[in-house]
A and B are shown apart, each in its own frame.
Chain A
Amino acid sequence: MGGIFSKKEKSPKSAPVSDQDNAILALKTQRDKMKQMIKRKENCLEKERQLAKQLIKDGRKDRALLLLKKKRYQEKIIDQTLNHLSKIEQMVNDLEFAEVQQRVTDGLRQGNEALKKMNQLFDIDEIDRIMEETKEAAEYQEEISNMLSGQLSNTDVSDVEKELEDLLAAEWGTVQLPEAPSHELPEAERERQKEKEKPRREKIALEA
């Protein structure tokens, strides 16, 4: 009985290793081997260069010449290997880029399918009908709210506005405003007015 409910230990789920991954790994392994070979040969060249110097010092030029020929041959091999190496690295880059492109394409395909499915859920007529129903429901709700809050109807509002206008008209009708004087000011008063204005002008001039 306990066996049914006991938890089974999950083994670590392995990540999918594609043929492409194996191809990339094989190329990279080849690249590493080439790099190691180049390192070995370069170390060997350095030793041979030192040995050639020593042989020249010792006066064994023929032996030194032979060693330098061998060195030149090794250098050619290194150049060829470097050439192969760049090709392999180019191939690795191409494979990795192809994988990225594949992932992008897969992503776009999935996105497109999801969008199609979403669009299938939407029907224009259905949306129109829903919008219409929503509008009607909103209007109905507003009507109910108006009834409950005792709000005035449009006719009530116009009646109230008319009443306000009548009241204002009546108010203005009873107020008697004095008429403006039509005759000229007396002479003495005009003189006094001039006297008042003089010092103000001077003051302004001084201040400026």
Chain B
Amino acid sequence: MAAATTTASAFKWPWQYDFPPFFTIQKSLNTKDKQLEAWARLVIDYAQHNKIYSLDIAEATTSELFNNQKLNRRLSTDGVNTVLQYLEQKKLIEFTDNGRTRFHIFWRRPDVWANMIYQWAVENAFINTPLTLYEITHGDDTTNESFHNLEREILMKALTCLEEQRRAQLMNIGGDNEGVKFI
């Protein structure tokens, strides 16, 4: 997360971020819905801007995302949990552990990543050729692609999507030579 905040200076915060009541979960249901929607958009936009694929709750709570130092206002732990519940309900995040301490942020859904990766494979003639997972996310051929440095878990979800659509075949997952063959 620390690495992400360095580039956050260029991030354009929404007007709500400088509005003190935004950091207190509202009682009125109508207002609360709009507030949570605004928080959800902020979390997703922030994650996309800084290419954050997963976050630790403790880390997130203390980060600038839920903590406006200029206003000296921060969203409480309960508030953060409420926002995360809303995001989970909208299928924009997914907790990775039973303790619900860490979560994936889907600023692009796995099926969207899947289509982008498959499109790249087609355009670069990688169909019917085995590729390593490292090659897809860290290879020289993907430096200009938006899925470069994509987290392994999200990559696996995307590739599983492709496998279900019979557009890819996963190879030796969990073994030494993990890879995928696009069909």
Q: Which of B130, B164, B166, B169 contacts A28 (CB 8 A)?
A: B130
B168 contacts across to A, CB distance below 8 A: 15
Cβ of A22 to closest chain B Cβ, rounded Å:
7
Q: Which of B131, B132, B134, B169 contacts A15 (CB 8 A)?
A: B169
Q: Does A17 contact B (CB under 8 A)?
A: yes
Looking at chain A's contact residues, the main secondary structure is helix
Q: Which of A13, A21, A22, A28 contacts B132 (CB 8 A)?
A: A28
A15 contacts across to B, CB distance below 8 A: 166, 168-169, 181, 183
Cβ of A104 to closest chain B Cβ, rounded Å:
13
Which of A21, A24, A29, A36 has most chain B Cβ within 10 Å? A29
Q: How big is the A interface, by class?
A: 10 to 19
Q: Does A96 contact B (CB under 8 A)?
A: yes
Q: Which of A13, A32, A96 contacts B134 (CB 8 A)?
A: A32
Known A12-B164, A15-B183, A32-B134; judge A24-B171 contact (CB<8 A).
no
Q: Which of A1-24 contact B (CB under 8 A)?
A: 12-15, 17, 21-22, 24
Q: Does B176 contact A (CB under 8 A)?
A: yes
Q: Are A22 and B171 in touch, CB under 8 angstroms? A: yes
A21 contacts across to B, CB distance below 8 A: 130, 171, 181
Q: In whole angstroms, what is the CA distance A26 to B179 when docked?
A: 9
Q: List 8 A-B contacts (CB under 8 A).
A: A15-B169, A17-B169, A21-B130, A22-B172, A25-B177, A28-B130, A29-B177, A32-B135
Binding site for A on B (CB under 8 A): 129-132, 134-135, 138, 163-164, 166, 168-169, 171-172, 176-179, 181, 183
Binding site for B on A (CB under 8 A): 12-15, 17, 21-22, 24-26, 28-29, 32, 36, 96
